[in-house]
Structure 1
Amino acid sequence: MVERLKRYGALIRFDRPIGTLLLMWPALWALWLAGKGSPSWDVVVIFALGTFLMRSAGCAINDYADRHIDGHVKRTSNRPIATGLVSPREALAVFAFLSLAAFGLVLLLNWQTVVLSFVALALAAIYPFMKRYTHLPQLVLGMAFAWAVPMAYMALTENVPPNAWLLYIAAVIWALVYDTQYAMVDREDDLKIGVKSTAILFGEYDIVMILLLQLSMLGLMVLIGVKEELSLFYYLGLAAATLLAVYQQILIRKREPAGCFKAFLNNNYFGMVIFAGLLAHYLVTLNPS
């Protein structure tokens, strides 16, 4: 049983939390904005646990979808299904169990958020299969990862205002940035086996497209700050994020897999400094003394 749990841990990337972190940051942005700096801690805990469960479920269904592909890609050749440590049926069972656990958490929230959760599940389930049919699977991933934004607003305010949708679009664009960087790592292997991605779609314009996406995302975050009347502390967080975006451009400029993967991982700090700016804004404005 211990050995089997270790294999399931490898399946859900328990030792690689970067996916959970990238999913968590937009949720935290939304929770603090929707809660005006004082979100219900019960809701925060539910979303934190939910991001872990849904990211883990996403890994399980992703490996099931890629069970005939992973063995042909250097970076993924050691995944549990590719090596036979976990069967495809077991991966589906893990996906179902984790999805039900996440749904159980959502049931603790209002009924409107429960309704929105079905969209999240649908997006998480179809994303892994999109790379066979479209060069924009990263867009579907972004829609799935960013769906925590409207859910957070609905959970706290029973409403999804226009600013929430601006934040949702910004989070989708951000996912396009980091998942394109991630796809650049596997581009040569993907071209050989016929897997589609934005890295392949953008081709020689990949770096320019990532730059344009980064600028668009940061521009939307500035607009949100203006509409929410946020203070200098928030913009300092955005300034730090801008510097990290520049650093990512430096990392990917030669299109070397190691540099592209490092740029992908750096997005954790990108999301973190934006949240730090939000947190500082509310800590100061809610406690001016």
Structure 2
Amino acid sequence: MIFQRLGVFPNTDSRRVHPTLNPKGRLQADTVPPSWKPFVQLSRINMPSGAFLTFWPCAWGLLASAYRAEIPLLTTLYQLPAFFVGSVVLRSIACSWNYVCDKDFDVQVKRTEHRPLAAGRVSVKATLIFTIVQAATFVAIPVYPLFKRIMYWPQVWLRCYSTFLGKLLVTSFFYVDKQSVLKSLISWTIYYDTIYATIDVKDDLRIGLKSTAVLFGSWIRPILRLLCIGFIALLIATGILNEQSFGYYGISVLPTTLLLFWEIMTWDQSNPQSAFIRFDQNGRYVGIIVACGLAIDYVLKLQT
């Protein structure tokens, strides 16, 4: 594949192992004092893909709104770091709280049995205090882990929650069509999170946890294709409604389309590392590709 030859995307048999897939449970947190390691692992700061997946939709909304309303560039540049910090904190709170809620399940799942709380490297009390301290700097503690007990679609809550927070922060200039943005983000979130959930699907079935990977079953690949098509179609619809220029379609939409369908075609459903790589690519590449097109459109519009 040309992307692999250029070194842009890794091979599905890459030797880079996701820390939680490492059977020995060694996390890449060796640069901090030993007493800090469990808390770095609780927050997953050393695994930034999730924080990027939280941040990029906020950045997209901000850039699209700034483009439509011709917000001064300096104002937008002030807002983006605030969104990033908020995304990191939100994701850290969600991860810590998730460990508390899922500790009894984590010990039964191969991928998660080495998490700090499940492995006994930190107590529930210490984790709760750590979570509350983080939450004190933000507005709420997400209830995402609890939704896995009652519904197959926990990602919908996750995306609605973050979209609501993003809208709340930029209410004064949130001019883009909210329905198309929300639907596109829900489609994208279910897509990449379903691929990630296949890592644990056997354990989830055994212990009775719900996920879209469990729900879709043997239909998972065609449904993921439909989600990709829906996401791309809604990106196009959002661009039309927001009156984006050709830069958005050429820089954001087209490369994203090629990347997502390449992911589906090359995904090895039987290989957990293949699933993680595709999850990681969405955090690292899809977000920045869409943001680049929006940013270029925005800057060019300000110059005209």
The TM tier, using the shorter chain, reads 0.7 to 0.9
Match of 2:203 among 186, 189, 196: 189
What CA distance in whole angstroms lies between the structure 2 residues aligned with 1:162 and 1:282?
A: 13
3-state DSSP of counterpart to 1:24 = helix
Q: Which position in structure 2 is the counterpart of 1:88?
A: 124
Q: Do the aligned residues in 2 keep the contact of 1:67 with 1:82 (CA within 8 Å)?
A: yes
Q: Which stretch has the larger CA shift, 54-63 or 259-268?
A: 259-268
Match of 2:230 among 201, 206, 216: 216
How much does 1:81 deviate? 0.1
Structure with a larger share of its residues in helix: 1
Match of 1:61 among 93, 97, 100: 97
Q: Which amino acid aligns with 2:83?
A: F
3-state DSSP of counterpart to 1:132 = coil
How much does 1:13 deviate? 0.6
Task: String of CA shifts for 1:56-87, please: whole Å, max 9, x gaps.
Answer: 00000000111001111111111100111111
Task: String of CA shifts for 1:247-274, please: whole Å, max 9, x gaps.
Answer: 2102335443222221111112112101
Q: Which position in structure 2 is the counterpart of 1:176?
A: 190
Q: Which position in structure 1 is the counterpart of 2:26?
A: none
Normalization by structure 1: what TM-score? 0.86
The 1:164/1:152 distance shift into structure 2, 3 A limit, reads farther
For the aligned residues, what is the CA RMSD? 1.9
The 1:254/1:42 distance shift into structure 2, 3 A limit, reads closer
What CA distance in whole angstroms lies between the structure 2 residues aligned with 1:152 and 1:267?
A: 24
1:147-166 to 2 correspondences below 5 Å: 147-154=164-171, 156-157=172-173, 160-161=174-175, 163-166=177-180
Q: Does 1:15 find its partner at 2:46?
A: yes
Q: Do the aligned residues in 1 keep the contact of 2:65 with 2:176 (CA within 8 Å)?
A: no
1:1-289 to 2 correspondences below 5 Å: 2-36=33-67, 38=73, 39-103=75-139, 121=140, 124=142, 126-154=143-171, 156-157=172-173, 160-161=174-175, 163-236=177-250, 237-252=252-267, 254-268=269-283, 269-288=285-304
What CA distance in whole angstroms lies between the structure 1 residues aligned with 2:273 and 2:302?
A: 43
Which structure is higher in RCO with an 8 Å CA cutoff and minimum separation 6?
A: 2
Q: Do the aligned residues in 1 keep the contact of 2:159 with 2:186 (CA within 8 Å)?
A: yes
Q: Count residues in correspondence.
A: 266
The 1:244/1:147 distance shift into structure 2, 3 A limit, reads farther
Q: Which amino acid aligns with 1:102?
A: F
What CA distance in whole angstroms lies between the structure 2 residues aligned with 1:18 and 1:147?
A: 21
What CA distance in whole angstroms lies between the structure 2 residues aligned with 1:254 and 1:68?
A: 27
3-state DSSP of counterpart to 1:83 = coil
Q: Which stretch has the larger CA shift, 133-142 or 9-18?
A: 133-142
How much does 1:90 deviate? 1.6
Q: Mind listing any 5+ residue stretches in structure 1 that lack a counterpart? A: 104-120
Q: Which amino acid aligns with 1:15?
A: N
The percentage of counterpart residues that share the same residue type is 29
Q: Do the aligned residues in 1 keep the contact of 2:51 with 2:87 (CA within 8 Å)?
A: yes
What CA distance in whole angstroms lies between the structure 1 residues aligned with 2:249 and 2:176?
A: 21
Q: Do the aligned residues in 2 keep the contact of 1:145 with 1:175 (CA within 8 Å)?
A: no
The 1:254/1:52 distance shift into structure 2, 3 A limit, reads closer
The 1:96/1:165 distance shift into structure 2, 3 A limit, reads farther
Q: Do the aligned residues in 2 keep the contact of 1:251 with 1:260 (CA within 8 Å)?
A: no
Q: Which amino acid aligns with 1:266?
A: Q
